[in-house]
């Protein structure tokens, strides 16, 4: 059977509205307590994400028509004067309720509140670490690892320092020719991650690569990390490791005891003793043209990484000059 375009369109709208009415009547709408998501905070309590919450309220009319004076007092501010309810149906109350309004109205009989949340990172370069959330569910990174806590509305305090992050992102705009693709800064005596910057989609700290044990003179062990749990593997005469394994080894060497890297605020000092000095460590991975530079400075460990294909290393290229540029960048943070 064929139907005219206008009639089909009208029928489709009716079906959508009827479905929405049935779902809300059965209580399948999302209530505010299910929508609000806890914040991700830096070490001083500053937000690293921005929540934009949107709530819509509806009144289900099940029986006879009611005059405006019979409308519950809490609803009157949301309806025009002398408003008369239909005998049956779904009446929109508001398309833009605040969280507090949504909580209040959802307690009224036959009022249902639906909502959604949009989550935006303060700095997009934090995405590989913090991850993304869709509605009330964490999809990747910190958002996924701590999803249950965040879904309950609990905020999570991380070890990141927003002030250092801001300096990194501002300098990345001014030193585009020098700036690496990835950077992480750790506090040596606690293992806390103070800053993170990445132009890539994946968290470079958990990306594996092969090294010879002779290339790294410190003891390598499994890492306890709040996100991915990278495994230390032997492949032939080489070891498959991640930057986190090397970071942990350098932190432990500095402190004289095992210190695991962490992105959660860790107040206690885990050092037994501090090394007087540590030398920078540079690793070049020729198969991919990738490099890693671990730069210890006082109580801070800088981890730089990036790519440098062979065609970019001309006759005048100098690795020493390249490292000096990275040392200079570290001094800016």
Domain boundaries, the chain: 29-58+70-154, 162-330
Q: Which of 167, 163, 159 is nearest to 142 (CA)?
A: 159
| pTM greater than 0.75 (yes/no) | yes
* 100: exposed, middle or buried (Cβ count in 10 Å: 0-12, 13-18, 19+): exposed
Q: What is the pLDDT along the chain (333 residues), one digit of tens a residue?
A: 455 555 554 554 454 445 444 444 443 344 455 557 899 999 999 999 988 777 888 888 776 544 444 677 788 788 776 666 666 677 888 888 887 888 888 888 888 888 777 788 989 999 999 999 876 789 999 999 999 999 888 999 999 999 999 999 999 888 887 788 999 999 999 999 999 999 998 999 999 998 888 888 888 999 989 998 788 999 888 899 999 999 999 999 999 889 999 999 987 777 877 666 789 999 988 777 789 999 999 889 999 999 876 766 667 788 888 899 999 999 998
The CATH number of the domain covering residues in 29-58+70-154: 3.90.1310
Q: Computed over its alpha carbons, how large is the radius of gyration of the chain?
A: 28
Per the DSSP assignment, residues forming a β-bridge with 118 are: 52
Task: Determine contact, residues 108/75, Cβ cutoff 8 Å.
Answer: yes
Q: Residue 231 phi/psi, 5° resolution?
A: -105, 135
Architecture of domain 162-330: 2-Layer Sandwich (3.30)
């Amino acid at each position: 059977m064929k139907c005219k375009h206008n009639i089909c369109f009208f029928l489709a709208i009716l079906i959508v509205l009827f479905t929405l009415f049935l779902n809300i009547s059965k209580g399948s709408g999302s209530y505010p307590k299910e929508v609000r998501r806890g914040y991700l905070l830096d070490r001083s309590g500053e937000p690293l994400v921005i929540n934009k919450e949107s709530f819509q309220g509806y009144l289900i009319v099940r029986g006879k028509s009611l005059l405006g004076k019979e409308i519950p007092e809490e609803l009157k501010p949301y309806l025009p004067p002398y408003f008369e309810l239909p005998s049956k149906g779904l009446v929109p109350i508001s398309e833009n309720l605040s969280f507090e309004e949504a909580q209040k109205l959802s307690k009224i009989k036959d009022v249902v509140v639906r909502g959604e949340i949009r989550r935006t990172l303060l700095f997009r370069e934090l995405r590989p670490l913090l991850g993304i959330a869709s509605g009330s569910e964490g999809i990747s990174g910190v958002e996924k690892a701590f999803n249950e806590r965040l879904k309950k509305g609990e905020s999570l305090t991380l070890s990141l320092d927003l002030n250092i992050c801001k300096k990194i992102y501002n300098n990345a705009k001014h030193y585009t020719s020098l700036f690496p693709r990835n950077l992480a800064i750790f506090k040596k005596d606690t293992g806390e991650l103070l800053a993170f910057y990445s132009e890539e989609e994946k968290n470079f700290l958990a990306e594996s690569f092969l090294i010879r044990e002779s290339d790294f003179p410190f003891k390598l062990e499994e890492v306890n990390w709040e996100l991915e749990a990278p495994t230390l593997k032997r492949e032939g005469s080489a070891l498959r490791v991640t930057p986190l394994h090397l970071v942990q080894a350098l932190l432990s060497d500095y402190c004289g005891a095992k210190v695991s890297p962490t992105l959660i605020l860790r107040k206690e000092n885990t050092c037994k003793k501090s090394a007087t000095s540590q030398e920078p460590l540079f690793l070049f991975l020729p198969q991919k043209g990738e490099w890693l530079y671990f730069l210890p400075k006082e109580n801070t460990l800088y981890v730089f990484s990036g790519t440098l294909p062979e065609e970019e290393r001309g006759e005048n290229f100098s690795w020493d000059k390249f490292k000096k540029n990275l040392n200079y960048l570290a001094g800016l943070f």
